Amino acid sequence: MIGRLNHVAIAVPDLEAASAQYRDTLGAQVGAPQDEPDHGVTVVFIELPNTKIELLYPLGENSPIQGFLDKNPAGGIHHICYEVDDILAARDKLSAQGARVLGTGEPKIGAHGKPVLFLHPKDFNGCLVELEQV
Amino acid sequence: MIGRLNHVAIAVPDLEAASAQYRDTLGAQVGAPQDEPDHGVTVVFIELPNTKIELLYPLGENSPIQGFLDKNPAGGIHHICYEVDDILAARDKLSAQGARVLGTGEPKIGAHGKPVLFLHPKDFNGCLVELEQV
């Protein structure tokens, strides 16, 4: 069911410093910051040859990233995103097997303009898992 | 400097259950458990089309994973591994810029038989970063 690893998302306490580190110290291809007000985050994508790193920084009130950074002031890996062909079929199969889908259970449009869902970390080895339909 | 994302490592409290979930529920290609006594872990590799997930479970006394699981009983993302062409050049550049290399600073032979180093999470947005020479 799952396909490619679309990205690994890292919540960072200083988006400019983290971007500069990936660009200048680690020599990666780093994009410009993009505000995603619907998701309460500013994101920077780092393009690796085979996948992406997504740096996340809180945007606005009630950002879903703020609580994570309060608990992890240095930052940390926030979630991993797997690609699926059919997000509704994936959701239904996972739900039938007891995995909990976060929120309403209906896909939202994610930072890449594609339908996404998040799965409960307790059901996936403590990892917040995003599914993205591609 | 960094190239492909070689793998994402997830520490899991039940290796058999996590393997079965990735194989049966998520439909991924899951390998057989491999004991790595030199590293104090048993690993299962999950082959995605573009990268790997490495499930980690403690092996023997003083496993470096045990403390992580004590703090995160449900499991969690333990580290991410970036490929580099020349691990000594990478280490020297990172050290010159103030990043701390864990252990003696000399590469060890990792689970794939290649030289690896780990970088201090505090210097990389709270993420434990492994570098692997490929």
Q: pLDDT averaged over chain B?
A: 95
Contact A90, A107 (CB under 8 A): no
Question: Smallest Cα–Cα separation from A23: which of A36, A14, A32?
Answer: A32
User: Hey, is the C-beta of B89 within 8 angstroms of any chain A C-beta?
Assistant: no
pLDDT in tens, B44-84: 999 999 999 999 999 999 899 999 999 999 999 999 999 99
Q: Coil, helix or strand for B85?
A: coil
Strand partners, B133: B84
> Residue B80: its chain A contacts at CB < 8 A?
8, 77
CB contact under 8 A, B10 and A77: no
Residues of A in Cβ contact (< 8 Å) with B94:
25
Q: Which amino acid is at A74?
A: A
Distance between CA atoms of A9 and A106, rounded to whole angstroms?
21
Tens-place pLDDT, residues B89-133: 999 999 999 999 999 999 998 877 899 999 999 999 999 999 999
Residue with tokens 């929120």: A103
Res. A96: pLDDT tops 80: yes
pLDDT in the model for residue B110 = 82
Which ipTM value was assigned to this complex?
A: 0.95
> Strand B29-30 vs strand B41-47: parallel, antiparallel, or unpaired?
antiparallel
So where are chain A's domains?
5-133
Q: Which residues from B are below 8 Å from A126, CB to CB? A: 10-11, 72, 74-77
Tell me what pLDDT residue B112 has: 78
| Class at the top of the CATH hierarchy for domain B5-133 | alpha beta
Condensed to tens digits (0 to 9), the pLDDT of residues A115-133 reads 999 999 999 999 999 999 9
Q: Looking at this protein, which amino acid is placed at residue A71?
A: K
CA–CA separation, A108 and A93 (whole Å): 18
Q: Closest Cα to residue A101, out of A125, A86, A83, A117?
A: A117
Give me chain A's average pLDDT, please: 95
* CA atoms A70, A21, A45, A82: torsion sign: negative
**In degrees rounded to 5, what are phi and psi of residue B33?**
-65, 140
Under the banding of pLDDT at 50, 70 and 90, the label for residue A112 is: confident
- The pLDDT, as a whole number, for residue A29 is 98
Cα of B65 to nearest chain A Cα, Å = 14
Question: How far is the alpha carbon of A14 from chain B, nearest alpha carbon, in Å?
Answer: 9
Q: What is the predicted pLDDT for the residue at B116? A: 95
The 3-state DSSP class for residue A5 equals strand
A121 touches chain B (CB under 8 A): yes
- Closest partner residue to B97 (CB to CB) among A8, A25, A93 is A25
Mutation site, A55, A125, A134, interface B, largest B CB count within 10 A? A125
Residue B109, beta-bridge partner list: B115
The whole-angstrom separation of Cα B114 and Cα A125 is 27
* Catalytic-role residue among A36, A61, A83, A130: A130
Task: Read off the pLDDT of residues B35-50 as tens digits, 9 standing for 90 and up.
Answer: 999 889 999 999 999 9
Q: What is the pLDDT of residue A113?
A: 86
Q: What is the pLDDT of residue B74?
A: 96
How many whole angstroms separate alpha carbon A43 and alpha carbon A91? 26
Helix then strand then coil, in percent of chain B rounded to 5, is 20, 35, 40
Query: Is it the case that residue A20 has pLDDT exceeding 80?
Result: yes
Please tell me the predicted confidence (pLDDT) of residue B27.
Answer: 95
Chain A residues whose CB is inside 8 A of the B1 CB are: 25-28
Please enumerate in sequence order all residues whose Cβ is within 8 A of that of A52, keeping only pairs 6 or more positions apart, or say none: A6, A7, A8, A45, A46
